[in-house]
Amino acid sequence: MRDFSLDIYRELLESLQRNGYQLIGYADYIKSQKLIGASVHSDKFVILRHDVDAKPENSLRTAQIEHAFGAKATYYFRIGKESNQPEIIRAIVQLGHEIGYHYEDMSLCGGDVDKAWSHFQTWLAYFRQYYPVETICMHGSPRSKWDSKELWNSYDYTTLGIIGEPYLDTNFHDVVYYTDTGRCWDGYRMSVRDKIPGFQALWEERGLMWHDTFGLLGAIKTKRFPQHAIITTHPQRWANNNGEWWTEFIGQTAKNIAKRILVKVNE
């Protein structure tokens, strides 16, 4: 079994369920926090988050796998055609998953806060045609100098009925964050924005970070995996097809080199 294949993703979900983890979407987590003030979905849960940056058909494949397990996940879509495919969005909603807006408005509007706020509202309304969007998530836009989370220094997304943003509303003292950025699970050092400053190094010190999916599976099996976690994937990275798998592997290797340079420049 190859890492970053649909087969190993299926194995990851099966292992989590077999070991008593509830698989939930991000809005469900936020609602449980607001209702009782603690992480109470179950003794053990994993929030499944997917950033649909490209190849939305791959997201439909992971959504179908999750549906077969009775799991719920959250899919964040960007506005560009490389992500925003209405037929895919509708199909994922029909499978019972949550849809959110993967916003990058500050980057797209050149740092103009007022323009970005207007742009955000327009596209939030667009995605609400397909699903009653309650959560949003920043797209990192690593080549942009603008961090789109800076929009919330001037505006408040809760005024639009948004209840949560993973980078801003997750209790990271309680929930460990895993992301496949860099095509590994411990690539936070090479990530420009998809990271949780101050926490990932601490989790690594505590032995809670693993490099590949086989490491995650081993930790789940031996009861070392945390009780509460977010697993963030970019489904364009996950494929069984040999050509697609190798194309993504080579492309991500090149991106990692560029990201290391960007991180070094920004230090």
Give the separation between CA 103 and CA 107, rounded to whole angstroms.
Answer: 9
Could you give all domains of the chain from N- to C-terminal order, each with its CATH number? 6-266 (3.20.20.370)
pTM over 0.85: yes
Q: Model confidence over 190-218: pLDDT tens digits?
A: 787 889 999 999 999 999 999 999 999 99
Give the chain's residues under pLDDT 70. 35-42, 249, 252-267
- How high is the pLDDT of residue 40? 47
